[in-house]
Amino acid sequence: MTKQRVKQAILGCNEQGDKAFVPYIMAGDGGLQTLKKTILFLQEAGATAIEVGIPFSDPVADGEVIQQAGERALAEGVTLRKVMNELASFKEEVTVPLVIMTYLNPVLSYGLNKIAADCENSGVYGLIIPDLPLEESGLLKDALRDSDVALVQLISLTSTAARIKAIAEAAEGFVYAVTVNGITGVRDSFNEGLEAHLQKLKKVSSVPVLAGFGISTPDHVQTLGALADGVIVGSAIVTALHENELEKITALIDASKHQVSTL
């Protein structure tokens, strides 16, 4: 399998002179019945792909905003299985690729082979699992081998050159370039070495590089988008959805349009 669906969506966006914009949402925040409406809104607003978070009791990569959203979703009884079933129910209306962000325990509980089949049945073309290191990803990669579901790799600011090379070689869909040392959440500023870091990733990666963590304003989208192939925005999207301030989301997405890379 070529694992091309997510990659091609990003490259197609870049070819039009735009940077990819991938909003993160917490599935089931506000009730699972809101998932279809939220995804179709983001699709219509111009999202390149949509990262669908699964609530989990021990979210090691998530900041306060996303943790609270996860707690609200857990209180609604939301599970990975229920999210998959809900996504499958309106798959035909979704034209952008969906990417599930979850942790390893829910995936193991679901069943490695079953999740590969159910992702395809639900319009899911990527998995992001922050607590699954490269060295232990073989079992899941084997389960996904005959599917078009990409296992997205994360690279941190502290990764060594050798590790960056190894992860880039294994990357599918896109490289998730973590832009801060720490968990998700709104930031006012970014590391001074971030530009050089993103340049390095783009040189060694055969798939697009998306910057994520801490990106929360249209200026951030433009600044970091210019250094990468696109951006991922989480906490700001989750907050805007929770507070029903949809105009803030459209402003973020609009900021990714008609950008020319500085690289």
The stretches of the chain forming alpha helices (DSSP H) are 5-15, 35-45, 64-75, 80-89, 104-110, 112-121, 138-144, 161-170, 194-204, 218-225, 235-242, 246-254
51 annotated active-site: yes
Return the number of other C-beta atoms located less than 10 Å from residue 141's C-beta.
14
Place of tokens 């950008």: 259
CA distance 22 to 61: 17
The catalytic position among 29, 62, 118, 229 is 62
The catalytic position among 18, 29, 51, 148 is 51
Per-residue buried b or exposed e for 111-129, using 16+ beta carbons within 10 Å of the residue's own CB: eeeebbebbbebbbbbbbb
The rounded radius of gyration (Å) of the Cα atoms in the chain is: 17
Closest CA to 215 of 247, 256, 243: 256
Instruction: Judge whether 133 and 104 are in contact, CB under 8 Å.
Output: no
CA distance 36 to 93: 9
Closest CA to 66 of 128, 132, 111: 128
CA distance 160 to 189: 23
Q: How far is CA 208 from CA 90, 106, 118, in A?
A: 28, 27, 25
62 annotated active-site: yes
Instruction: Please identify every residue annotated as catalytic.
Output: 51, 62
